[in-house]
Amino acid sequence: MSDGQWYTRRSVLLKIGVFLNGIVGLAIATPVIGYLLSPIKKKGAYNSWISLGEIDQFPEGQTRLAEFVNPSKHAQDGETSKTPCWVRRVSGSKFQVFAINCAHLGCPVRWFPQSELFMCPCHGGAYYADGSRASGPPERGLFEYEYKVVKNELHISSGQMPTLANQAGLVNIEGTGKSPCLG
């Protein structure tokens, strides 16, 4: 008090309030900034090509269930990091790799070789062997993964679930065409 500085209760409480509001603002801003910057961090995982195995594992004219480990997994994911997909070998080196999820609400579809249909247990959706819609509530066919054959192995572009947003870039073995399902 001798050097002429006076602290009032109001000025002390104002400084404490500004400090506490700054801490709360920082606590709120940190996850928001992390969310906005997350696509930059995960960009490499979305461009991963994962091997489903030798092409001889998939007989011509048959549809088989395959499984791969999601490249953007975390240590706590455990068994849930394994992602199933349906692989249909059309002929020779031509494949169709379908996401296991129904295009309606995402329930896992099951392949019935007797009727050559994919069936959804949730709402009765049905799909033909080529993934196109047969009946039920889904308005479109099954989503497909991009694929390529590298050294006699079938590889798919994983890390990002196939959706309508990224279906335009489907490639065949040569990398030049689209899937016959999307015409």
Q: What is the DSSP string of 117-135?
A: EEE-TTT--EEETTS-EEE
Using CA atoms in the order 52, 53, 54, 55, what is the torsion angle rounded to 10 degrees?
-20
Residue 1 above 50 pLDDT? no
pLDDT in tens, 3-26: 667 789 999 999 999 999 999 999
pLDDT score for 70? 78
How high is the pLDDT of residue 42? 60
- β-sheet bridge partners, residue 83: 68
Q: Degrees (nearest 5) of the Cα angle 154, 170, 152?
A: 15
Please state, for a pLDDT cut of 90, what percent of the chain lies above it: 22
**What is the pTM for the complete model shown?**
0.63
pLDDT in tens, 75-101: 788 787 788 889 998 888 889 999 888
Give dist(CA 4, CA 1) in Å, integer. Answer: 6
Q: What tokens were used for 142?
A: 């099954």
Alpha-carbon distance of 19 to 29, in angstroms, equals 15
**Cα–chain center distance at 71:** 10
Average pLDDT, the chain: 81
Contact (CB, 8 A) for 121 and 134: no
Residue 140 predicted with pLDDT over 80:
yes
* Average pLDDT, integer, range 28-52: 79
Per-residue pLDDT, averaged over 102-117, amounts to 89
pLDDT at 90: 87
